[in-house]
Amino acid sequence: MNIRPVKAHKMNEDFDTSPTVIYTGEYDEENHLMNVYDSSQEQLTKMMGTNQWILNSTGEVFFIEEDVPYFAN
């Protein structure tokens, strides 16, 4: 597993004016995003078929902008 930051954009808000939140992304060996965690380490749930993830405790939905894949040397 690889751990790297991902950008989270709150849905239903303008990307140009809403603040970007940095969450933690957990990737598998093939660089597929498997899990996303907020700053308090709460795991978000992926909405199947989309790049959207929901924070279950608040019901907030985020578009996750994945970072450029990182390849170790």
Query: 37-62 pLDDT, tens per residue?
Result: 999 999 999 999 888 999 999 999 99
- At 16 the pLDDT is 62
Residue 15: inside a domain, yes or no? yes
Buried b (16+ CB within 10 A) or exposed e, 33-61: bebbebeeeeebebeeeeebbebeeeebb
Residue 38: inside a domain, yes or no? yes
Tally of structural domains, the chain = 1
pLDDT over threshold 50, residue 73: no
Residue 23: inside a domain, yes or no? yes
Range of the domain at 19: 2-65
Q: Using DSSP, state whether 45 is helix, strand or coil.
A: strand
Query: 2-27 pLDDT, tens per residue?
Result: 999 998 888 876 656 666 788 999 99
Give the DSSP H or E segment for 27: strand 21-27
The Cα 52–Cα 3 span in angstroms is 19
Backbone region of residue 31 per phi and psi (left: phi > 0; alpha: psi in -120 to 50; beta: other values): left
Residue 72: inside a domain, yes or no? no
